[in-house]
Structure 1
Amino acid sequence: MRKPVFWLIVLSAFLGACSQKVEDKSKKEKLEMIEKISKLEQELINPDTKHLNYKQAQKVDKLYREFIRKFPTDTAAPEYLYKCAEVNVGLGKYHAAAELFQNMQKTYPNHPKTPQSLFLAAFVYDTHLDQKGKAETIYQKVIELYPGTQYAKDAEIAIQTLHLSDEELLKLLQEKAKQQSDSSTALKNE
């Protein structure tokens, strides 16, 4: 009876030590990735041209994705997902960017950047991919899921102007500017 208890204690100690080593290795890997990402983020914009450094952007995109895959519950993961989507917009990978922005809502629905992220997904579908129907569906989702936010208000305006031609939009903006000018003049005269 004593031998099984002894071996059980030895086995528990061994498994505990192994578990600690795996945890330490994972923590070290995470910190190394964060350091690499931080370094690459500083090199994203070419200081001479003020343009996106595509080579560095592709590297940081890969690291963001790897970090999110390996450490999805880490507090940095939603931030990196958002930044990854932004980088993909900069790289001209609009389908990927829109999907990444939408993944914020699916994966981190309560994160503070999620309403903005979902709005930006719709914006990318509208402006870069010319998929007005998809954009409208996502704008509507912003309104439904995040009512009362500035992004819900912006989504309502975007839906109203989504199917307008450039000429119609210009006319609408000119009318709004005239209305504001008229109301400002009326206030000054009082």
Structure 2
Amino acid sequence: MKYALLLPVIALLAACGGPKADSPAEVSARIRTMEDSVFQSLTFDQRKAQALLDVYKAYANANPTDTASAEYLFRAANVAKTMHDGEQSIALYDRVIKDFPSWRRLPDVLYLKAFTIDSELDRKGEAETAYREVIDRYPDHPFAKDARVMIENLQYTDEELIERFQAMNDSTAVLP
């Protein structure tokens, strides 16, 4: 008798299937709404940022070959950096590099990865290697020039950099 009651329930569940997955366009619209909520606020809401980060990653996991996934992973890396989660940011940049090797914004990804290693993780040697990758792969890109400057500045402490910038600013000041 117990099985006779269970059979219609199983049949009903099988017939209904599961919940219909949202289309990429529907998910993208939801992402835009979440972005507006996170970025239009005057204060940074860590909870909303984490939710947005999770949605970006979920989209990329559900649509691994969609070029929009590259953009969302890139944005997720930037949100992670804003949240001072350098390790997650680097992992997301690495995923873009691995999964979308010909993406048009790859120079940006490589440079921001290097910058994150430098500024968030304070790993100077690893940052130099990452900056050199930008220069080697994209020697004519504007970020290659920036990477050269960043490599030069790796040798200085924050205080020394401030002094250097102040000295440069003082030397270019125009007298009345």
Query: Is TM > 0.5 for Structure 1 vs Structure 2?
Result: yes
Could you report, residue by residue, the CA deviation over 1:16-49 in whole angstroms, capped at 9, with x for unpaired residues?
xxxxxxxxx66x43233222212111111363xx
TM-score (ref. length: structure 1) = 0.73
Larger Rg: 1
The gaps in structure 1 that reach 5 residues or longer are 1-24, 186-190
Structure 1 equivalent of residue 141 of structure 2: 149
After superposition, where does 1:70-149 map in structure 2 within 5 Å? 70-149=62-141
Alpha-carbon shift at residue 151 of structure 1 (Å): 0.7
Could you report, residue by residue, the CA deviation over 1:47-81 in whole angstroms, capped at 9, with x for unpaired residues?
3xx12222221111111111111212212111101
**Partner AA of 1:31 in structure 2:** A
Provide the rounded CA distance (Å) in 1 between the counterparts of 2:164 and 2:64: 44
RMSD (Å), alpha carbons: 2.1
Distance 1:167 1:42, change over 3 A: closer
Alpha-carbon shift at residue 95 of structure 1 (Å): 0.7
- 3-state DSSP of counterpart to 2:104: coil
**Partner AA of 1:129 in structure 2:** L
TM-score (ref. length: structure 2) = 0.78
The gaps in structure 2 that reach 5 residues or longer are 1-19
**Partner AA of 1:111 in structure 2:** W
Provide the rounded CA distance (Å) in 2 between the counterparts of 1:152 and 1:116: 10
Structure 1 equivalent of residue 28 of structure 2: 34
Alpha-carbon shift at residue 176 of structure 1 (Å): 3.6
